[in-house]
Amino acid sequence: MPRLKSILCPIDFSEFSVKAYDYAQSLAWHYKAELLVQHVLYSFPAFYIDAAYKETCRKLRTDALRKLREFAKRQTRTKVQPQCVVQDGIASDKILSFAETKRVNLIVMGTHGLRGIDRLMLGSVTERVLRKARCPVLAVRKPIHDFVSPEGNADPINLKSILLCMDFSKHAQRALNHSFSIAREYNAEVTLLHVLEHLAGSADLQSATVKVTKELKKSVSPQARKSSLLKFLVRIGKPYQQIIEVALEAQADLAIMGVRGRNSLNSALFGSTTYRVIQLGPCPVLAVHT
């Protein structure tokens, strides 16, 4: 099972990054991982820089670091001690390069969902990080049902239900490993879902469902199959629609999806299953790259 040793959470001080920070600190607490909190200031190209601009940037960085530390102190409810970092440049570039340098195992980012990741926002920070990151990315926006724990609880996230989207590919198997790892940390229920998108009109629906259910069960160990916290589900229809529907029905706290890797994560992905679930789904989505 994958272990998280280092987690990066970019912060822009919006309500969406506050929500993402709850997930980041909770995961860091459960996995005893290092938590890196990053804020990126915009900077002009080098040919605009003079002494006065450099001094202004220095003051902005100082103020931003103070604000970031205050944010972390105010929002942290666990015993995690985050490391705060302020950089200037293009946000997506700095997030990706910092993640590479620190060899982080997970990036946790807030997103505006339908309003923020859409066809008008192809240049958005979250979208580019999702496309280019070498590690899994957890895209968090305010869920339909709020399962963040009450303020008195040490753990800010009450994660009880995980929806794993399976298509029997190598990247789905990697996502399966992540789902079992997270479920073990939170004692959460896992639902393995496969969606039959193309079923011939003459095909026996019941036979097809039985066959796929057997394949789902084969994808996990015999010991795991015995768990009362593991469920198998087969649906028919458009994958993103069925995933969203099941997530709503199960009140899923997290959806986990395997994606084929950096080369396939391009702007066309806005019409893909993963991006549609991020856009329209009721819960955060963990995109796992191969």
Provide the CATH topology of domain 149-285.
Rossmann fold (3.40.50)
pLDDT at 182 over 90: yes
pLDDT of residue 276: 87
Look up the pTM and report it. 0.88
Residue 53: pLDDT band (50, 70, 90) is: confident
pLDDT of residue 28: 96
The set of residues, in sequence order, having a beta carbon less than 8 Å from that of 67 and lying 6+ positions away, is 13, 39
Order of strands, sheet of 6-10, starting from the edge strand that comes earlier in the sequence? 83-88, 34-41, 6-10, 106-110, 137-140, 285-289, 254-259, 161-165, 189-196, 230-236
Q: Of residues 156 and 21, which shows the higher confidence score?
A: 21
Q: Of residues 267 and 167, which shows the higher confidence score?
A: 167
pLDDT of residue 43: 72
Ranked by mean pLDDT, the top range of 38-47, 109-118, 170-179, 182-191 is 182-191
Q: 57-69, pLDDT tens digit by residue?
A: 889 999 999 999 9
186-193: average pLDDT: 96
Task: Answer yes or no: same fold for 1-142 and 149-285.
Answer: yes
Residue 145: pLDDT band (50, 70, 90) is: low
Torsion angle in degrees (nearest 10) through CA of 287, 288, 289, 290: -160
pLDDT at 45 over 90: no
Residue with the two structure tokens 């198998």: 232
pLDDT at 2 over 90: no
**In this prediction, what percent of the chain has a pLDDT beyond 90?**
53
- From 116, 127, 108, 126, select the one nearest 286 (Cα to Cα): 108
Q: 68-93, pLDDT tens digit by residue?
A: 999 999 999 889 999 999 999 999 99
Residue 179: pLDDT band (50, 70, 90) is: very high
pLDDT at 54 over 60: yes
CATH class held by domain 1-142: alpha beta
pLDDT of residue 138: 96
pLDDT at 109 over 70: yes
Q: Of residues 180 and 46, which shows the higher confidence score?
A: 180
Q: How far apart are CA 253 and CA 158, in angstroms?
A: 8
Domain boundaries, the chain: 1-142, 149-285
The set of residues, in sequence order, having a beta carbon less than 8 Å from that of 99 and lying 6+ positions away, is 8, 107, 133, 134, 135
pLDDT of residue 156: 85
pLDDT of residue 4: 92
pLDDT of residue 117: 43
On average, the pLDDT of the chain sits at: 85
pLDDT at 281 over 70: yes
